[in-house]
Chain A
Amino acid sequence: MNPPVAVGAPDRTGAEKMLALREFHEFGAYGARFLYMVPSAGVFRMDEVGDAILDALAAGPLDQDALVARVAQGHDVDRVLETIEDLTEIRAIGDIDAPKDQVPNDLPPADFPLNTMVLNVTNKCNLACTYCYEYGDDKIVDTQYGDQPKFMTEDTAEESVDFMLAESKGQPVAHLTFFGGETLLNFPVLQRTVAYARRRAAEEGKRVEFSLTTNATLLKPDVIQWLADNQIGVTISIDGPKEVQDGLRVFHNGKGTYDVVLPKIKELLQVHRSRPIGARVTLTQKNMNVLDIFRHLTQEIGFWEVGLAPVTTQDQRDYAITPEGKDDMLRQFEELAQEWLECSLRDEHHGFSNVKDTIEEIHKGVSKAYGCGAGLGLMGVATDGNVSLCHRFAGSPEHTLGNVRDGVDREKQEEFLVDHHIASKTDCHTCWARPICSGGCYHEAHVHYGDSSHANLHYCTWVRSWTHTCLEIYAALAEKNPKFLERFDA
């Protein structure tokens, strides 16, 4: 009468159960030990018993009785057992035979809303920066002789706004970023688009937040006033002091831009007080003095925040950052990060936005399936209305997901999401920094490997070192000024 009985593996007793360390990354602050759990991205602080258990298991797996016997020499047995339970629950330790936590291989929901649309209102630029990904050696779209119109028309811009509002689904706020080329070359369309977006959003009971990136050469008093009046967030592309800026950020005739942009930026900073103004620096092998650049932009010019990013290019270019250059850049980032920490411990502002962004991700405990939101919560729109992964791919047929008139090709989007998922990046599966990096920038990968779904292996060491530094800073704040971290709660 009885059916066959499938009997599970017998439960092992304390003496047989072998415990081992599982996946996490350790860091510390003021003598306290913290664990960054992988892949959950939870951050936990150890106490002395937790320390002793981790130390005991660091030498190799132990059965539970042996572990307790070893740790309990200086501690209460019940407390040791409870801490073993705690560590097991957060998966810092576990049965040696327990399978490794697999990367969940599920795609975002099909109705994932669009949060940010980047509108390339023009692909034309009045500068000729050597390293430009749009016009330089590594461009992926023929911006000069290709089919793309040089300027986005007002009609296309309005259709893009309609597309954005529809794709933002139930979200009450949509973000619209104007980009180029040089964005302000198409100022008339920009103005009309903002007005149109405001009106359309109001009709739908939504709100749109605007921002733009510009090289500052075309900032005139009326433009500045309009930006201030309309609360447009402004990011200025600028590389630093005169000799740095004039080295790579030049007009088509080769003339440097520093003397042209400086007075305009100062006026912008003076007039436009409704949103903080940030500087965006591209670092190359020829301008690597991060500390000088940062101080110049914050203290001498007066930017509220400065974000620095290494140039995206192939290794053979003379401005590509060498491995030694990356080490140097990291050392300087770490120095600025320490300054940021000291300011934050005193509740003072420090404008190094790179560290702030990473600290926010650590605080929230993000564990990403994708390097960024491109092709999902963020999309770029080319001048002809084609929708691509992000602004860096705008106009590239290979990376187009649809257009603003007909919408997104869901099959193509799904194919992209499958290809670029962390589960597909097997190189990343043993890296502890994967919750925060997830393989990195698609454009960087495309330029470097010819494949946007490739993990950016040439930055692994750098990303791990930088993430470790940011974790230590996070821990220091958690120890000495936890109230400061509440600003990242939202």
Chain B
Amino acid sequence: MRHLKAVNQKAARIEAYVAHEAAEAENLRLDVVGLRTPPHEDPTRPHFPRGCSLVFSPGWEVDSSGGTAGLCQPVERDIFDCHLSCFWPAHVPDQLNHAADWTGKCASAQKDWRKLDLIFP
């Protein structure tokens, strides 16, 4: 606070709180956040990690150019997230009727994603 004077004890606590919040914001600004867009740059928009990402949720990783080609893990890894737990509808084979064993050889998507194949009706 530069121009107002905190007079009572509560005002002093408010001033200390405001100063603490400002320091936190400054720390965040100076934080090293490699390979991603610092989320506080635009808090009104969702955070898209760029480049390699520790966030293994579908659709949230893009490479440094904003695409998916340069990712160190293939986008296919995400298929189970889309397919099983994500609100985003994924186009996957019908495992109830026509392709019950589509994922039979894929115990771990991160390791076995190559074993998921196309289905031909």
Contacts and interface: CB of A to CB of B under 8 A. Distances in A.
Interface of A: 1-11, 34, 37, 40-47, 49-50, 79, 82-83, 85-87, 89-90, 362-367, 474-475, 478, 489
A7 B4 CA distance: 36
**Max chain B Cβ within 10 angstroms of own Cβ: one of A10, A42, A79, A90:** A42
B44 A45 contact: no
A362 B59 contact: no
A3 B9 contact: no
Contacts, number: 100
Nearest to A10: B44
A482 to B, nearest CB: 8
A50 B46 CA distance: 37
Contacts of A489: 9
Nearest to B45: A7
A8 B78 CA distance: 26
B58 A1 contact: yes
B42 to A, nearest CB: 8
Contacts of A82: 2-3
B78 A46 contact: no
A364 B2 contact: no
Interface in B2-26: 2-11, 13-14, 18
B8 A365 contact: yes
Contacts of B6: 42-44
A29 to B, nearest CB: 10
A223 B82 CA distance: 84
Going nearest first, the 3 A-B pairs with the smallest beta carbon separation are A365-B10, A8-B44, A42-B11
B10 A43 contact: yes
Given A9-B44, A10-B44, A89-B18, A40 B10 contact: yes
Contacts of B14: 37, 40, 42, 90
A38 to B, nearest CB: 12
A11 B11 contact: no
A363 B8 CA distance: 5
B75 interface: yes
A83 B8 CA distance: 19
Contacts of A11: 44
Contacts of A367: 10
Contact of B2 (A4, A34, A86): A86
A45 B15 CA distance: 13
Contact of A365 (B4, B13, B44, B58): B13
A44 B7 contact: yes
Interface residues of B, number: 28
B33 interface: no
B10 A364 contact: yes
Contacts of B11: 37, 42-44, 90, 365
Nearest to A91: B14
A24 to B, nearest CB: 12
A364 B45 CA distance: 40
Contacts of B44: 7-11
Contact of A4 (B10, B78, B82, B88): B88
Interface of B: 1-11, 13-14, 18, 43-46, 58-60, 68, 75, 78, 82, 86-88
Nearest to A7: B45
Contact of B59 (A3, A43, A474): A3
A1 B62 CA distance: 11
B18 to A, nearest CB: 5
A42 B4 contact: no
B88 A50 contact: no
A337 to B, nearest CB: 18
A6 B47 CA distance: 11
A474 B78 CA distance: 64
B4 A79 contact: no
Contacts of B4: 44-47, 50, 83, 86-87, 90
Contact of A43 (B7, B46, B75): B7
B37 to A, nearest CB: 14
Nearest to A85: B2
A42 B8 contact: yes
20 contacts: A1-B58, A1-B68, A2-B59, A3-B60, A7-B44, A8-B43, A40-B10, A40-B14, A41-B8, A42-B6, A42-B10, A42-B13, A44-B5, A45-B4, A49-B3, A83-B2, A90-B1, A90-B14, A474-B7, A475-B7
B59 A363 contact: no
Given A40-B14, A86-B1, A365-B9, 17 more contacts: A1-B58, A1-B75, A7-B44, A37-B11, A37-B14, A42-B11, A42-B14, A43-B7, A45-B4, A47-B3, A50-B4, A79-B3, A83-B2, A85-B2, A363-B8, A474-B7, A478-B7
Contacts of A363: 8-9
B62 to A, nearest CB: 9
Nearest to A364: B9
Contacts of B88: 1-4
Contacts of A7: 44-46
A437 B75 CA distance: 61
Contacts of B78: 1
Nearest to A5: B46
B3 to A, nearest CB: 5
A87 B18 CA distance: 11
Contacts of B9: 363-365, 489
Contacts of A478: 7-8
A41 B14 CA distance: 10
Nearest to A11: B44
**Max chain A Cβ within 10 angstroms of own Cβ: one of B3, B7, B10, B75:** B7
